């Protein structure tokens, strides 16, 4: 399998963009842009990030707390900053529940270390979620090697053309049904 072909195939799955934050050996905030983020479990509450084995963040996460910062649509400069292209203005930091967090995000998920697994050229890091913050901002997206934004929500379009549309299909929204157990036979 050609690595570029596999990367292109993986790139067809649209993802959010996150910055995983933690502290370095000196206790200073550190971050790495990551789009390999997955919700793992609600009970216990677990989240996963996958980082390139050669990234400095891997060594900083070894058995230490971290935060997953889901970037907001207007944080493209923050994504690039933590991907190795420093922005002219350093992103704003805040104190988080388990680790430093970034300001202005779409969501923040604060984690304690849970497990780390071998993932080939990556490490799979799973954290136990201790706190979430959801300010209600739209997320930044990544698809096909390009950063993207959500399009405006289209009201009433999802059902159009469907026979199950409660407004235009077989039944209107006021239809009432008799459970089969109580139905009379014809």
Query: Six-digit token pair at 14?
Result: 């649209």
Q: Which domains does the chain have, with CATH numbers?
A: 3-149 (2.30.110.10)
Q: Which pLDDT score, from 0 to 100, does residue 147 have?
A: 86
- SS3 assignment, position 54: coil
Q: Which pLDDT score, from 0 to 100, does residue 59 have?
A: 80
**170, pLDDT greater than 90:** no
Model confidence, pTM: 0.78
* Separation of alpha carbons 65 and 111, rounded Å: 6
**61, pLDDT greater than 70:** yes
Q: Comparing 1 with 44, which gets the higher pLDDT? A: 44
Q: Which pLDDT score, from 0 to 100, does residue 58 have?
A: 77
Q: Which pLDDT score, from 0 to 100, does residue 7 have?
A: 79
Q: Do the beta carbons of residue 72 and residue 139 sit within 8 Å?
A: yes
**171, pLDDT greater than 60:** no
Q: Which pLDDT score, from 0 to 100, does residue 105 have?
A: 98
Average pLDDT over residues 29-43: 92
Q: Do the beta carbons of residue 150 and residue 105 sit within 8 Å?
A: no
CA-atom Rg of the chain in angstroms? 22
Q: Which pLDDT score, from 0 to 100, does residue 176 have?
A: 67
């Amino acid at each position: 399998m050609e690595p570029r072909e596999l990367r292109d195939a993986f790139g067809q799955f649209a993802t959010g963009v996150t910055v995983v934050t933690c502290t370095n050996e000196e206790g200073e905030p550190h971050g790495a842009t990551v789009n390999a983020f997955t919700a793992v479990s609600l009970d216990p509450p677990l989240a996963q990030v996958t980082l390139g084995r050669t990234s400095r963040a891997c060594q900083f996460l070894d058995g230490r707390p971290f935060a997953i910062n889901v970037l907001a649509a207007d944080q493209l400069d923050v994504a690039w900053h933590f991907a190795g292209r420093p922005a002219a203005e350093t992103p704003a930091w805040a104190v988080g529940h388990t680790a430093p967090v970034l300001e202005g995000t779409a969501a923040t998920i604060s984690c304690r270390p849970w497990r780390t697994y071998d993932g080939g050229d990556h490490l799979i890091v799973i954290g136990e979620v201790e706190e979430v913050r959801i300010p209600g901002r739209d997320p930044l997206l990544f698809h096909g090697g390009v950063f993207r934004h959500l399009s405006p929500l289209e009201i009433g379009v999802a059902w159009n053309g469907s026979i199950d549309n409660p407004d235009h299909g077989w039944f209107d929204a006021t239809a009432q049904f008799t459970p089969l157990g109580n139905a009379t036979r014809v």
